[in-house]
Amino acid sequence: MTRRRYPLLRATAELINAVNGVRPLGREGYITLPVFAFGWPTTEMSPVYLVVSVLDALRRGLRGDFCGARGRIALLLTAIAWVLLGIIQRRNIASAPHFEGPLRETLGEDYEAIADKSQPAPHRRMIGVWPTELVRRRYVEKTSTVQYGPHRRTNRADVWRRADLPRDGKAPVVLQVPGGAWAIGMRRPQAYPLLAHLAERGWICVSIEYRVSPRHTWPDHIVDVKRALAWIKENIADYGGDPDFVAITGGSAGGHLSSLAALTSNDPQWQPGFEDADTSVVAAVPIYGRYDWFTSSGSGRKEFIGFLQKFVVKKRIAEHRQLYLDASSIKRVRPDAPPFFILHGQDDSIIPVQEGREFAEAIRNVSTSPVAYAEIPHAQHAFDFYYGSPRAHYTARAVETFLSWVHAKRRQPADAGPAITAP
């Protein structure tokens, strides 16, 4: 009996997936989750998808799947999907100006020259598609997985550093806070393109895990981030890092936590038992973050508030509104905030781009420090995750340039103009 292969159904699925990569098919309610799950790999790994699809089509063609009228229609639909995948990759490659333009507008035309003076050039560039574990092992010694807090199973961190960095040096430091809807929080393999790029440029990066929901309850998450900052200030000099230059970054939930930590430095409310510890940062780079925990109207807001009430905060917003307001970065903006570089994708189906726009506007209206906002056309959530993605490369380069600019400005002699000071 001949096995039925349904080539038309398969081709239709490929085409729908490619269309979803070109533009998300859903932006309201729970449909956004599968839209993201299928759309992110398509948008950021389109060359891989294309190669696999072409090879599979050749295999199926040799066995006769494209014979007959239905087969020819299936081949046409598959070819259209290939064209769309090519368009996606071309858009990705062309997105570089959307990372560079906001920095030039905010920091000045000479921002790259100033940033280049801060750090030496890498001795060997990491390019192309690298296995994530190989990337990590290149920069993280086995002995550099550390315990930064009292919760042994969750307060763990990797210290990324170049092996040739002097232990008595003063390399700038970045804390990476992972995302995962406040329910995952794994330090591996998030932000590997950024961490590898920064480490190659002579930075020391600390990538953490933290307590997550539903097992743990807010504000355990932000308390752990602040514990990590306190640990860095006390210990990073042993790894050759500068405790006086610690920046923070993170994506999604990590974008929320990193922005909130930057705006609430040394706040004893979230430093139980270490109230006197220094948890300030010199700069913050939140990426596609949630900055508003209280608004109930708008795309996906009802579902988000419901998720917080049931799994993260575990308290109703109607009776505990102040708790949700305190956890909202957009409500914690202040004049002495450190420099910010905010990034968000226009096609983000998990956290709508409007959230990034509103947060950038809110902090710009009050902060005396530079605030750059990059809105990336056609980018889905987690656009910086995959090592072989052009947008991941552009993100790493732009974030490193921004942080190097801040570093250079803080080291600038008094007679060379105003320097940025710590908040």
Least confident of 33-42, 215-224, 287-296: 33-42
Mean residue pLDDT of the chain comes to 90
Residue 416 above 60 pLDDT? no
Q: What does the pLDDT look like over 369-397, one tens digit per residue? A: 999 999 999 999 999 988 778 999 999 99
pLDDT of residue 118: 65
Class of domain 96-292+328-416: alpha beta
C-alpha distances out from residue 405 to 104, 108, 333, 370, 371, Å: 11, 11, 22, 11, 13
pLDDT band at 122 (very low <50, low <70, confident <90, very high): low
Most confident of 66-70, 109-113, 142-146: 109-113
pLDDT band at 15 (very low <50, low <70, confident <90, very high): very high
pLDDT of residue 213: 97
The predicted model gives 222-236 an average pLDDT of 98
Predicted structure pTM score? 0.91
What are the structural domain ranges in the chain? 7-93, 96-292+328-416
The predicted model gives 208-235 an average pLDDT of 97
pLDDT of residue 129: 46
pLDDT band at 5 (very low <50, low <70, confident <90, very high): low
Q: Helix/strand/coil (H, E, C) string of the chain?
A: CCCCCCHHHHHHHHHHHHHHHHCCCCCCHHHHHHHHHHHHHHHHCHHHHHHHHHHHHHHHHHCCCCCHHHHHHHHHHHHHHHHHHHHHHHHHHCCHHHHHHHHHHHHCCCHHHHHHCCCCCCCCCCCCCCCHHHHHHHHCCHHHEEECCCCCCCCEEEEECCCCCCCCCCEEEEEEECCCCCCCCCCCCCCHHHHHHHHHCCCEEEEECCCCCCCCCCCHHHHHHHHHHHHHHHHHHHHCEEEEEEEEEEECHHHHHHHHHHHCCCCHHHCCCCCCCCCCCCCEEEECCCCCCCCCCCCCHHHHHHHHHHHHCCCCCCCCHHHHHHCCHHHCCCCCCCCEEEEEECCCCCCCHHHHHHHHHHHHHHCCCCEEEEEECCCCCCCCCCCCCHHHHHHHHHHHHHHHHHHHHHHCCHHHCCCCCCC
Structure tokens at 31: 């449909």
Residue 421 above 90 pLDDT? no
pLDDT band at 412 (very low <50, low <70, confident <90, very high): confident
Q: List residues with catalytic annotation.
A: 252, 348, 381
Residue 130 above 90 pLDDT? no
pLDDT of residue 132: 58
- pLDDT > 90 in the chain, percent: 69
Give every strand in the sheet of 204-208, ordered side by side: 145-147, 156-160, 204-208, 171-177, 241-251, 284-287, 340-345, 371-376
pLDDT of residue 306: 95
The predicted model gives 19-23 an average pLDDT of 92
